[in-house]
Structure 1
Amino acid sequence: MHVTLARPSELGEPEVSRWRALQEADAAFDNPFLSPEFTITVGELRDMVWVAAVHDGPDIVGFFPFERHPLGIGRPVAAGLTDAQGMIHVKDAGIDPHWLLKQCGLAVYEYDHLVSGQPMEAARSESYPSPIIDLREGYDHYSGFLREHSGKTYKTTLAKSRKLQRDIGEVRHDYATPDLEPLRTLLGWKTDQYRRTGRTDRFAHQWIVELVERLHATRTDSFAGVLDMVYVDGTPMAGHFGIRTRTTLAGWFPAYDTAFAKYSPGLIHHLAMAEKAAASGIQVIDMGRGHKEYKEKLKNGELAVTEGRIARRSPSAGLHWMMRVPARKARATVLANPLLHKTADRALKTYGRLRAALPG
């Protein structure tokens, strides 16, 4: 085996077609964050993005997209934004991960949403559920599941939707809209949400705004940005931007106008989105790792992703361990304990309220 390294923009059509074929051959890779279009678009905005093509004789048996940071620290493409990470490869290709790190000039590769069946997975990785909306048997089957298993939530959401229409006006849902203005409205809501809940505003980084806009403008059969918005009496109320393959929609940036909060606009939107997505051929909506109340109410299945690091023996790897691993383990402990998680979340929201009250 040997490896060739390239910038994403240097990949030719034969390489992109091979990547797509490997992705579509294994259900574990059916996620738009693992698509060549995603890596290529991020690579247009970040110069640390590379792709390693692993060759076995004349054939490419794997693609490893990654970011190379100082001291040989490797991370997934758009680390911190993505809910699916890893190599796209032939099953049982026998790729040695430490050998691959060396070929890529990396001392460490750290990940937090590694998909299943990965050569890059370390022995001590921690596994976490990634909730999904499984639409493979259609929306009617899914809504039947909700009536049976989340009956109160489902009935209450429908009742609030009816009340919304009585109180304000007609509800309309635009799915996969190409318009840019509603995208900007959605990102504004998301910024407000980040500030309100004490989180870092991702859209304070211009490259992330540009990434979302470029992905929104990308529309092919195998990959596209998907923006959908719910309006009431012509006023935008809730929406979501994500990306899709032919059959999987990755939940990414949902948000709503808090003026409509009493009507549960997020749940109304997610049900509408699931129905339209199923009608368009989507079989799975991956809502991503992380405990959120709305995910628990809407999920009817789970995938598994892992968090960890794989490293070669080196001073850089040792330094990375000291800087990252203890903090990551502490964070995982908080997230795994409902009481600690609730306390931390409450503290962040208090911080968000105090921050919002400051001038400027």
Structure 2
Amino acid sequence: MKSFLIILILLTGISYSSFAQKEIKYTEASALHITGKLKENAPGFHRLDTAAYPALPPGVKHLLTNAAGIAVTFTTSSTTIWAKWCVSKSKTNENMTAIANKGLDLYVKRDGKWQFAGVGRPSGQCSNYQITKNMEGGTKEFLLYLPLYDELNKLEIGIEEGSELHAGAEPFKKRILIYGSSIVQGASASRPGMAYPARLSRRTGLHFINFGLSGSAKMEKPVADVVAELDADAYILDCVPNSSPEEITERTAYLVRSIRARHPKAPIIIIQSIIREISFIDKQWTSRMKLQNENMRKQYELLQKQGVKDLYFIDAKGLIGDDHEGTTDGTHPNDLGFDRMLQKIEPQIKAILSKYGIV
């Protein structure tokens, strides 16, 4: 290869340095700006320091080590970006892409808007991948989303030697906490930045914090206490999918009242469950889905009658469309399903938040 280049140089007069790849230097992501944690003091890329909450169920503690909703912001003049990262030994979930589960998702800001730039494709427990190349010169602002469904143990960002790399600014304003199921966490979006809290953030400029707990958003008292403790300008409760009809009746009031006690004026928005596609086929799921959503509506109406203020409700109708094409596995939305969900909930959420000067 080297001899071929020398011959080409002699024939064309092009300098050899034009073909030489620049060295890549790596920086620990922890030295840059990390956004999206439930609390800033969470260790590493965990969403919460679960050691401070011994009463949390073990499954919830494990899920809070997943990096869902966390992103790294940085600026660089490099024309290429690499990443080295290590995750756990767990298998990729069968209803998710490897990129969403264990990979990275990069956005660049152009004309004031976040635009997809590339992905980090995982190749094993530890990966090294060139996310972008041949970009234009000059300083650019980036947002790198971390894996939705795995613990990230190490992350380094690579740029060309001689280029600058700096921590980025916080890209979003305010804090809207979304407590919910695997759908909130991101299953089954194609990549981390396509999870609906992340998309809401980029579309609105507001910070929608991902408190998604796959299969485990059941409104247990210790979890409700944590939700209420976390500071936010508004709270969205999308936890119907994981809670049984009985749990919804027994636990919703405690969750809502706990939030209201700590945050007297913050709006609380309850979202019914999407209508799972399996409920059109499996008759047991038909009755369960109906009861889940009916019971949540009853709890909302009861709380309103009891004087709980600043409480809002978004119903399930049309959340992922009616053509039965909006899920990956009959339960979790695909990108099409999430897009339809956003078309319905975003205008309602923005209208509610505008009443409080949050938008």
TM-score (ref. length: structure 1): 0.27
Larger Rg: 2
Higher helix residue share: 1
